[in-house]
Amino acid sequence: MVSRMSDTRQRFYIATVCLDRNRWGTRVPSFAVSGWLDRFASDGFEGIELWEYHYTRADDEEKGRLVSASPIAIYNTYASFGDDAAEARAAAASAIGDLRASGVKYNVGKDASRLGEYRRNLVGWSEALPATCRLLCECHPGTALERVDEAAAFFADLDPDRFGVIVHVAGDVTRVVPWLSAMGGRVRHVHVQMRGPDTDPSVPANLAPYVQCFDALKAHGYAGTFAIEFSRGIGRDEDMELVYGNACADLAFCREALE
């Protein structure tokens, strides 16, 4: 069967949240993404995972430049899936349509007792998105779907081509293999995090845990997309150029590890 989704296999993206020092503070963008698009492309990134505030809190000129650029690969939203967040979900859907994003990263929410509510709103929200936009759940710790068995049950009867999940490669293969085993082809996107000082890929001793993760992806036949989500240098008084240089080094390592 031919997939409804656009073919974005084995592409590597830069997550713009990686480069913004205000990601966990004011959430007011510290740079204009449009000014970096050519540089991202020349350095080997094949698209971007756009932090939503780089669009929603940008001025009209920057919004226009992003809309006029190539379609955004993935839109990273923080919209909630509670009944009280319909307006935020509608705003995210509007931005996704404007940017022609082929995927959207989201989290369902934190309260496991509200999974039925989250699921109802997620399915309803999917109907407001372009048919070509894949929904990618970031089921990380601290969310209601952090356990793989609960996530598998939540998505069991939803189209795996439309409703995908994200796996994190952060140096712990035990956080990768169970998701690949339980979710199979529903795993559509990978977030790579090489944040700490002991993750510099130029130091061979640091690489074994990450190589294990990539070997697990290859063993399961993973053929989805990747984003460098976080890299070294993030923190107080961070230097954007340093973080970006590290993200480029991570990109080179990822490509080599997947050969």
User: Which band of pLDDT confidence, cut at 50, 70 and 90, is reported for residue 246?
Assistant: very high
pLDDT digits 0-9 by tens, 104-113: 999 999 999 9
pLDDT above 60 (res 3)? no
Q: How confident is the model at residue 202 (pLDDT cuts 50, 70, 90)?
A: confident
At 2 the pLDDT is 29
Residue 46 token pair: 């094949």
Q: Is the model's pLDDT at 6 over the cut of 70?
A: no
Q: Which residues have a Cβ under 8 Å from the Cβ of 55 and sit 6 or more positions away? A: 63, 66, 75, 95, 99
Q: What pLDDT does 156 receive?
A: 96
H or E stretch at 115: helix 115-126
Predicted local distance difference test score (pLDDT) of residue 208? 93
Which position has the higher pLDDT, 25 or 120? 120
% of the chain with per-residue pLDDT over 90: 87
- Helix (H) / strand (E) element for 165: namely strand 163-169
pLDDT band at 190 (very low <50, low <70, confident <90, very high): very high
Binned at pLDDT 50, 70 and 90, residue 198 comes out as: confident
For residue 7, name the pLDDT band (cuts at 50, 70, 90).
very low
Q: Look up tokens 């994190």; give the residue.
A: 168
**Structural domains for the chain:** 12-257 (3.20.20.150)
Please indicate whether residue 79 or residue 71 has the higher confidence score (pLDDT): 79
pLDDT at 24: 92
d(CA 69, CA 107): 26
Q: What is the mean pLDDT of residues 216-233?
A: 96
pLDDT tens digits along 138-162: 998 899 999 999 999 999 999 999 9
How far is 86 from 116, CA to CA, in rounded Å? 16
Confidence of residue 196 (pLDDT cuts 50, 70, 90): confident
| End-to-end CA, the chain | 28
More confident residue, 76 or 9: 76
Mean pLDDT of the chain: 93
